[in-house]
Amino acid sequence: MTEILFAGLPELEPGTVWLVGAGPGDPGLLTLHAANALRQADVIVHDALVNGECLKLAKPGATLEFAGKRGGKPSPKQRDISLRLVELARGGQRVLRLKGGDPFVFGRGGEEALTLVEHGIPFRIVPGITAGIGGLAYAGIPVTHREVNHAVTFLTGHDSSGVVPDRINWEGIAKGSPVIVMYMAMKHIGQIAANLIAAGRAPDEPVAFVCNAATADQEVLETTLSRAEADVAASGLEPPAIVVVGEVVRLRPSLDWRGALDGRKLVTDPLPDRSRNPA
């Protein structure tokens, strides 16, 4: 069966780096390309958000190097991580850079790939399921729903200096995006919520925090924009978290499939006040 699964997939050549997304947490969400990379790599340089169960798929004798960056905690500089990939590849290693979620969605994969190009290192990009989609799905929250939204915005809650990005057009997003999905936003949720309310979003608009998404430790907090900061503080929840703002949060009582596995009774009509248009 293994040979059938991996037949025809590319070889990770010596001196090459693959930038691979590991998905939001559940090892079952690894792509076949990601599993193929794990079984070939000599060195795996992995992020903090990569589930350790994924690393068990590494070939015997593979070297595991931790290169996690977590906000507010000591962590390697991005340039040093990128140059380490160059160093390993130049040493003839088959290098797997394994990143939580997707390498190109707030994952600094573009920065690392540009460094590889700068130094003439061959590379491949393997997309992964980003937490803003897969993590929310594991919480029973769809990022799009025909009766709720036809657009969604993904943004980061802090920039490289650790503060709320000043280049985000909060007014434009508040008025133009029915659903907003935010990465690394828990720490600054008070300021972000105030920005959105000041730009016209309703204080009672639904908000959900999905912590440790798609893992056994997943926890979900449902609240509103005006209460988000206080409710998060009272909950004691900690990052990593995905934050979603919008009416799609109201679908969770019907779509919380993981809760249903634990006995939660799902409701059949979470949006009773909305007109139905089956066309």
C-alpha distances in Å from residue 104, one per residue of 21, 39, 101, 113, 125: 9, 23, 9, 10, 9
47 is catalytic: yes
DSSP state of 198: H
Cα–Cα distance, 264 to 152 (Å, whole number): 28
**How many residues comprise the chain?**
279
Residues 197, 71, 101: CA angle, nearest 5 degrees: 85
How many separate helices (H) and strands (E) can be counted in the chain? 11, 10
Cα–Cα distance, 180 to 150 (Å, whole number): 12
Q: How far is CA 228 from the centre of its chain?
A: 20
Of the candidates 109, 270, 244, the one whose C-alpha atom is nearest the C-alpha of residue 181 is 244
Question: Where does residue 215 fall: left (phi above 0), alpha (psi -120 to 50 degrees), or beta otherwise?
Answer: beta
Cα–Cα distance, 198 to 179 (Å, whole number): 17
Cis amide linkage into residue 122, ω under 30° from 0: no
Residue 151 buriedness (CB in 10 A; 0-12 / 13-18 / 19+): exposed
69 is catalytic: yes
Residue 262 buriedness (CB in 10 A; 0-12 / 13-18 / 19+): exposed
Q: Which of 26, 42, 47, 256 is catalytic?
A: 47
Q: Which of 184, 186, 187, 256 is catalytic?
A: 184
Catalytic residues: 47, 69, 184
